[in-house]
Amino acid sequence: MADTTDVLDKLGVGRIHRHVFICTGPKCCGEEQGQEAWDALKAEFSQRGLGQGESVCFRTKVGCLRLCQQGPVALVYPEGTWYGEMTADRIPRLVGEHVVDGKPVEEWTLAQNPLPAPGSGGKAF
Ligand code: FES
């Protein structure tokens, strides 16, 4: 088994710039539609080389983001931008404008919830 520290370093943990979570259904969208969006996201990341280098972007497929409507639902951190109807055809623009350029696509945004910055005293309870 590989050393965990080495795996984390190889993944780029510590250099992650943005993280996209996308739900592939089945409640918010059909599983085929969700899978197509996920495949498009993977392809776009690969084409742009976003998973490597000094500034790494992550993508994660999830089973539910609890909204369960207007899917595929996507969530991008650190901005905490919630997107609806993130179908495969929308993925290139999402990646180009938000993930790479840092500008959330307002017309597709359902909600905005950035998380407190580390050390900002963001006590939850
Ligand atoms: S199934 Fe996609 S948000 Fe719940």
As assigned by CATH, the class of the 26-112 domain is alpha beta
Q: Cα(22) to centroid of ligand 1, in Å? A: 9
Task: For residue 26, name the pLDDT band (cuts at 50, 70, 90).
Answer: very high
The pLDDT, as a whole number, for residue 122 is: 65
Burial of residue 109 (CB within 10 Å: 0-12, 13-18, 19+) is middle
Region of 13 (left: φ > 0; alpha: ψ -120 to 50; beta: rest) is beta
Distance 26 CA to ligand 1 centre (A): 7
For 43, the token pair is 């392809």
Predicted confidence at residue 51, as pLDDT, reads 85
Q: What is the pTM of this model?
A: 0.93
State residue 2's pLDDT score.
86
Pocket probe mutation, ligand 1, options 22, 23, 33, max atoms within 8 Å of Cβ: 23
Task: Among 21, 22, 24, 28, name the best residue to mutate to test ligand 1's pocket (greatest count of ligand atoms within 8 A of Cβ).
Answer: 28
How do residues 92-113 score in pLDDT, each as one tens digit?
999 999 999 999 999 999 999 9
Q: Do 113 and 77 touch, CB atoms closer than 8 A?
A: no
CA 63 to ligand 1 centroid distance, Å: 7
pLDDT tens-place string over residues 32-73: 999 999 999 999 999 999 988 888 999 999 999 999 999 999
Domain ranges of the chain: 26-112
Q: How far apart are CA 61 and CA 39, in angstroms?
A: 10
Pocket of ligand 1 (CB under 6 A): 23, 25, 27-28, 64-68, 71, 73
